[in-house]
Structure 1
Amino acid sequence: MLNKIYDWVDERVDLTPIWRDVADHEVPEHVNPAHHFSAFVYCFGGLTFFLVVIQFLSGMFLTMYYVPDIMNAYESVKYLQNEVAYGQIVRGMHHWGASLVIVMMFLHTLRVFFQGAYKKPRELNWVIGVSIFMIILGLGFTGYLLPWDMKAYFATKVGLEIAASVPFLGGYIETLLAGGGVIGAQTLARFFAIHVFFLPAALLGLIAAHFILIRRQGISGPL
C-alpha cells in the first residue's frame, strides 16, 4: 500500500532523485563514532534539530487548547494539564524540551567554535547558527510568560527591565515587547504572537539556510 502511494506521488513530483541525493550523500569518516570516539560531538547539531522538531509538534498541540488572554490563559493551561488526555505529558515535553534545546544548542556552538568550524568558507553559516541560537533564546523568553502565573509574571518583568537597559534602543524594545507601561493583556498577546508566529517562521527559514550551506560546504574536518 505504501509503495503504491509512493509510486503515485513519485510519478507526479519526481521524488526519487531528491531522495537519492539525500540518501547517497557520503558522510566523512571522522564523524563516525565507530571509528572515532570523539565523533559523538558531531551529534549535538542533529540532537538540537530533533528537539526543535519536538518543540514544534508539542507546541502545535498546546495551541489547540491555550487561550492567549489574561482572563483565561492560566485556566486554559490548568485545563490542559489536568483534563486533556496526555496533556500533562505533552506540556512536560514542551517545558523540558525548551531547556534541553538551549543546552544542546550551546554544546553545538561550543563544538563549532573550538574546532574552528566557523572559519572560511563557513563564516556565513556561523552567523546563521548564532542567529538560530538567539531565536531559540527568544522563544524561551517569550514562552515563559504564557502560563500567566506569578513566576512567569515576575520573570518577564525582570527580562523587560534588562531589555530596557540596552543603550539607545532599550526603551523602544521594552515598549515593543510590553505594549505599554505595565505587563498586561497587550504584553501577553504580543508574547504569544512572537512565540507562535514570528520567531518560529524566522527559525524555519534560518534552519533551512543552515542545512543548505552544510550540504554545499560539507561537514567540517576534525580538530
Structure 2
Amino acid sequence: MLRKIYDWLDHRLDITPMWRGLADHEVPEHVNPAHYFSAFIYCFGGLTFFIVVIQILSGMFLTMYYVPDIVHAHASVKYLQNEVAFGQIVRGMHHWGASVAIVMLFLHTLRVFFTGAYKHPREFNWVIGILLFFVMLGLGFTGYLLPWDNKAYFATKVGVEIAASVPVIGPYIASFLLGGDIVGARTLARFFALHVFFLPALLLGLLGVHFFLIRRQGISGPL
C-alpha cells in the first residue's frame, strides 16, 4: 500500500531524485563508525538537531493546553501534568530536553572549535552556529517563565536585571522583555510570543542556512 502511494507521488512530483540527493551524500572517512572516537565527536550536531525536533514536537503538544495569562498559566500547566494523558511525560521531555539541547550544542561548538572547522571556507557557518547557540539560550530563558510559579518569576526577574546591566542598550533590552516596569502579564505574553513564534522561526531559518552550508562545503577534515 505504501509503495503504491509512493509510486503515485513519485510519478507526479519526481521525489526520488530529491531524497536520493540527500541520502546518497558521501561523508569523509574519519566520520565512519569504524573510527569510534572521531565518529563520536562528530555526532554532536546531529544529536542536537534530533533533540530540537523533539522539543518542537513536544512544544506543539504543550501549546494545545497552555493558557498564556497570569491567571490561568500555572493552572493550565498543573492540568496538563495531572489530567492530560501522558502530559507529565511530554512536559518532562520538553523541560529536560531544553537543558540537554544546550549541552549538546555546547559540545558541538567545542568540537568545531578544537578541530578548526570554523576556518576557511567555513567562517560564515561558524557565525551561524554561534547565532544558533544564542537563540537556543533565548528559548531556554523565555520558556522558563511560562509555568508562572515562584521559581520562574524570580529567575526571570534576576535575568532581566542582568540584561539591564548591559552598557548603553541594557535598559532598552529590559524594557522590551518586561513590556512595562515589572514582571507581569505583559512579560508573560511577550515571553510566550518569543518562545513559540519569533525564536522558533529564527531557529528554523538559521538551521536551514546552516544545513545548506554544510551540504555545500561538506564536513570538515579530520583532527
- Structure 2 length-normalised TM: 0.99
Amino acid in structure 2 at the alignment position of 1:37: F
Post-superposition Cα deviations, 1:176-218, rounded to whole Å, max 9, x if no partner, equal: 1100000100000000000000000000000011001001100
Aligned residue type for 1:53: V
Identity %: 78
Q: In the alignment, what sits opposite 1:35?
A: 35
- Residue in structure 2 matched with residue 65 of structure 1 by the alignment: 65
Match of 2:173, as an amino acid? I
| Alpha-carbon displacement from aligned partner over 1:59-110 (angstroms, at most 9, x marks no partner) | 0000000000000000000000000000000000000000000000000000
More displaced 10-residue stretch of structure 1: 175-184 or 19-28: 19-28
3-state SS in 2 of match to 1:26 = coil
Equivalents in 1 of 2:162, 2:185: separation in Å? 21
When the two chains are superposed, the root-mean-square deviation of aligned CA atoms in Å is 0.7
Partner residue in 1 for 2:191: 191
Q: What letter is aligned with 1:185?
A: A
Amino acid at match of 1:69: D
| Runs (5+) with no aligned partner, structure 1 | none
Q: Note if 1:118 corresponds to 2:118.
A: yes
**Counterpart for residue 136 of structure 1:** 136
CA distance in 2, matches of 1:97, 1:35: 28
The alpha carbon displacement at 1:139 in A equals 0.1
- In the other structure, the counterpart of 2:86 is 86
Residue 129 of structure 1: CA displacement?
A: 0.5
| Secondary structure class of the residue paired with 2:42 | helix
Q: 1:155 and 1:51 mapped to 2: Cα distance?
A: 24
Q: Judge conservation of contact 1:143–1:195 (CA < 8 Å) in 2.
A: yes
Q: Do 1:45 and 1:108's aligned partners in 2 also have CA atoms closer than 8 Å?
A: yes
Task: State the Cα distance separating 1:5 from its structure 2 match.
Answer: 1.1
Bigger mean CA offset, 11-20 vs 212-221:
11-20
Provide the C-alpha distance between the structure 1 equivalents of 2:37 and 2:186, rounded to a whole number of angstroms: 51
Please report how far the alpha carbon of residue 7 of structure 1 lies from its aligned counterpart in structure 2 after TM superposition. Answer: 1.4
Check the 8 A contact 1:163/1:174 in 2, yes or no: yes
- CA separation in 2, counterparts of 1:79 and 1:52? 25
Q: Report the Cα offset of residue 27 of structure 1.
A: 1.3
Give the CA deviation at 1:36.
4.4
8 Å CA contact 1:144–1:156 kept in 2: the answer is yes
Instruction: Report how far residue 33 of structure 1 moved.
Output: 2.4
Distance in 1 between residues matched to 2:150 and 2:35, nearest whole Å: 51
Alignment of 1:1-223 (within 5 A): 1-223=1-223
Q: Do the aligned partners of 1:30 and 1:36 also contact (CA within 8 Å) in 2?
A: no
Deviation at 1:24, TM superposition (A): 1.2
Distance across 1 between alignment mates of 2:126 and 2:79: 42
